[in-house]
Structure 1
Amino acid sequence: MPTPECIIFDCDGILVDSEQITFSVLSEMSREIGVILTETELEHHFLGKSLNSIIRFLGEETGKNLADTFESEFRQRTFDRFKTDLQPVDGISALLDRIRVPVCVASSGPPAKIKMNLALTGLTNYFGDKVFSCYDLKRWKPDPAIFRHAAQTMGYRPGQCVVIEDSPTGVRGAIAGGFRTYALSRHGNEQLLADAGATVYHHHRELYDLLFAEG
């Protein structure tokens, strides 16, 4: 199997350990509008999906129009938590230190959130301005557009790249775009990730050899 010439990383759950914070805030805000969902339930149903899809679901459950207020309140609460609690995913800095091919980020999050979280966790210098957001394209995973856009902008074809994801939604998008895909499983969802088409691993310390020892 050829070694990659470019590596495209998802952000949340791959670079920054933001998902527990995100689902904690979502659970709190859901309860406040009368929808009781645990963090585990939210993670199971919405990991890797857009915030808009969650807001639509909550709006349908409550019969309320949440479009104008929910996202801004959610962003403020999560940003406040990120500033005090956010950490890089274990092992990611050591992995990035070893990689000698171009890397970039392709995330469903807003550009400002991605850049803030990379800065808070000390990862900005690994990626510079090579940060791509679904918000810029108005197309969300599992649509493969963000991965194709990232690869094209970096100057590579899908077959020359690999994608690193942690959600079945993201994996399906990458596979649909023609990318070899590896998925970090930390949620007991190994089978879902494998069924979506990814090669599954469980800690970033494993990934370098998977990527560069197979050639």
Structure 2
Amino acid sequence: MKYKCIIFDCDGVLVDSEEISNAIMIEMANELGVEIKLDYALKNFAGKSLKNSFEHIERLSKKLLPNNFVQEYRKRSYLAFKRDLKPVKGIHSLLDQIVVPFCVASSGPLEKIKLNLTITNLIERFENKMFSSYEIGSWKPNPEIFKYAAKEMGFKPEECVVIEDSLAGVRAGISGGFDVFGFANDNNKTEFEKEGATVFFEMDKLYDLLNEKE
């Protein structure tokens, strides 16, 4: 493997949380009279900051969100995670194979990263290797969170590879000078490839793909 460090996104890459969190977003938007489908939410909210997503809902609703909207979203989503969250299929076996340093860099707050990794029994693998956009005040598609993670791990961007599942994250990695592997589906495969990401569909296949890159 040519890479000296692997930087994982969290939601949708390590933990299977995107549909859970977006279902809560849809539920709360619907309560405000804004009808949003899951495909729309995944396309427009995945990988982006909550602030960006909430502003998007405000534009659709044409009115300000309630003052407690953020707190209520956190409360409902955390309860849903504790009840339903699972690791992405194949991620534990992948991490067992990796011999180079790895970390997680997420747009979510550190509290959420720790919660999600604890629920899915991944937390011990990422102790002292968790980096949040909230620590630096910069969110994807800006590349700073990946640059920050690489620097904290002791590597340059060109020595690292980013594993992402959102268009915002893919763009952040590419613009930051990283190689990016996009954990894709049929809906975003073409977009990922246009941005310059190497696309894959199963976590079980990623280790071999990483080793093919020389």
TM-score, length of structure 2 as denominator length: 0.96
Q: Please state whether the residue corresponding to 2:191 is helix, strand or coil.
A: helix
1:151 and 1:158 in contact (8 A); partners too? yes
Once structures 1 and 2 are overlaid, which stretch shifts more, 161-170 or 49-58?
A: 49-58
User: Match for residue 126 of structure 1?
Assistant: 125
Distance 1:118 1:131 in 2: 10
Residue 142 of structure 2 aligns to a residue whose secondary structure is: coil
Displacement of 1:61:
2.6
Which whole-Å CA distance do the structure 1 matches of 2:58 and 2:212 have between them? 48
The answer to whether the aligner puts 1:161 opposite 2:160 as a matched pair is yes
2:44 equivalent to 1:71: no
**What amino acid sits opposite 1:151 in the alignment?**
A
Identity within the alignment, %: 46
Unaligned runs of 5+ residues in structure 1 are: none
SS of the residue corresponding to residue 180 of structure 2 reads strand
Are 2:171 and 1:172 equivalent residues in the alignment?
yes
**After superposition, what is the alpha-carbon deviation per residue over 1:23-47, rounded to whole angstroms, capped at 9, x for unaligned?**
1111110110010001121112222
Per-residue deviation, 1:67:
6.7
- Quickly say closer, same or farther: Cα 1:130–1:187, change in 2 above 3 A: farther
Maintained 8 Å contact 1:6/1:162: yes
Task: Compute the displacement of 1:204 (Å).
Answer: 0.7
How far apart in 2 are the matches of 1:105 and 1:97? 16
2:187, 2:209 → 1: CA distance? 20
In the alignment, is the contact (CA less than 8 A) between 2:44 and 2:53 conserved in 1?
A: no
Query: Do residues 193 (structure 1) and 179 (structure 2) align?
Result: no
Question: Equivalent residue for 2:145?
Answer: 146
**Cα RMSD after superposing both structures:** 1.2
Residues 194 and 58 from structure 1, CA distance in 2 versus in 1: closer, same or farther, beyond 3 angstroms? same
Aligned length: 214
Q: Which amino acid aligns with 2:11?
A: D
Q: Which amino acid aligns with 2:141?
A: P
Contact 1:55 1:67 in 2 (8 A): no
Partners of 1:214 and 1:55 lie apart in 2 by 38
Residue 47 to residue 200, structure 1, CA distance change in 2 (3 Å): same
Quote the Cα distance in structure 1 between the aligned partners of 2:211 and 2:4: 10
* Structure 2 match to 1:107: 106
1:8 aligned onto 2:11: no
- Pick closer, same or farther for the CA change 1:173–1:203 going to 2, 3 Å: same
* 1:23–1:43 CA contact under 8 A, matched in 2: yes
Match of 1:25 in 2: 24
Q: Does 1:135 align with 2:134?
A: yes
User: Could you tell me how far 1:11 is from its partner in structure 2?
Assistant: 0.2
How many angstroms does 1:148 deviate by? 0.4
Deviations 1:92-143 (A, max 9, x none): 0000000000000000001100000000000011111110001111111011
Structure 2 unaligned segments of length 5 or more: list them: none
1:214, distance to aligned residue in structure 2 (A): 3.2
Alignment of 1:193-212 (within 5 A): 193-212=192-211
Letter in 1 for 2:61: T
* Runs of 4+ that moved beyond 3 A: none
Deviation (angstroms), 1:4 = 0.6
Alignment of 1:71-90 (within 5 A): 71-90=70-89
Q: Partners of 2:156 and 2:111 in 1: how far apart?
A: 27
In structure 2, what is the equivalent of residue 183 of structure 1? 182
1:208 counterpart SS class: helix
Q: Which moved more, 1:62-71 or 1:137-146?
A: 62-71
